[in-house]
Amino acid sequence: MELIKAVDVKIFPYRRLKPETTEKILNGIMEYDGILRVMINGNSIPKVVVYGPAKGTQVNHEDRKVIKVKDDSVELRVSVGDLIVTVEYEKLDLFLEKLQNLLENTLSFGFEVSTGIFTKTNITVSDYLKLGYGLENGIDPRLIGLVDPNSKSQDTVKLIGD
């Protein structure tokens, strides 16, 4: 796959996002041209308590829900604190205009939008270990740096619309 010049856009809302709000923003973003990947960051919401006196007890957190993004189901495993959208460089200006409008119409509180490089751009050792050798010849650039060495990739990476 040919390398595409891209830039990251970090969306930092001043409050944690509810699943319904996250769903609206993600679906709005996925409609725009030039989107290469979207990452959701936040504090983990476990299914069960993993340590302490309540170890093994179910966690019934209201924000751990399944949302629909482009007709795909995505389980939110984090309390959404920020989003990073990787956009083709040539389409950045139009994307930022549309994003500003989307966020102003969706969020009832403040937010910041910044551009830069917030994700890894080179293949990491974890990528090699998780995804296999020979990646430099054919890795999908959208997957670089998304691998968590302590988890299963199918649990943390969801390809939508492919």
Long-range contacts of 120-123 (CB under 8 A, 24+ apart): 120/144, 120/145, 121/145
Clarify whether residues 46 and 124 are in a common domain.
no
CATH number, domain containing residue 74: 3.30.70.120
Sorting pLDDT into bands at 50, 70 and 90, what band is 150? low
Distance, in Å, from the CA atom of 138 to the CA atom of 154, rounded to the nearest integer, reads 19
Could you give the strand order of the β-sheet that contains 6-13, starting from the edge strand earlier in sequence?
Answer: 35-44, 78-88, 6-13, 111-116
Between 19-30 and 92-106, two packed helices, what is the crossing angle to 10 degrees?
150
Q: How confident is the model at residue 77 (pLDDT cuts 50, 70, 90)?
A: confident
Domain range spanning residue 41? 6-119
In a domain, 1, yes or no: no
Res 127: pLDDT: 60
- Select the more confidently predicted residue: 117 or 138: 117
Residue 147 lies in a domain: yes
Shared domain check, 115 and 46: yes
* Rounded-to-integer distance, Cα 69 and Cα 27, Å: 6
* 142 and 71 both lie in a single domain: no
In a domain, 39, yes or no: yes
Query: In terms of domains, do 80 and 146 share one?
Result: no
Judgement on whether residues 38 and 74 belong to the same structural domain of the protein: yes
- The verdict on 91 and 21 lying in the same domain is yes
Q: Give how many domains the chain has, as a whole number.
A: 2
pLDDT at 132: 57
Question: Token pair for residue 148?
Answer: 């968590």
The verdict on 91 and 24 lying in the same domain is yes
Taking residues 89-118, report their average pLDDT.
94
Q: Of 144, 153, 138, nearest to 6 (Cα)?
A: 144
pLDDT in tens, 37-76: 888 999 988 888 888 998 989 988 888 899 999 888 888 8
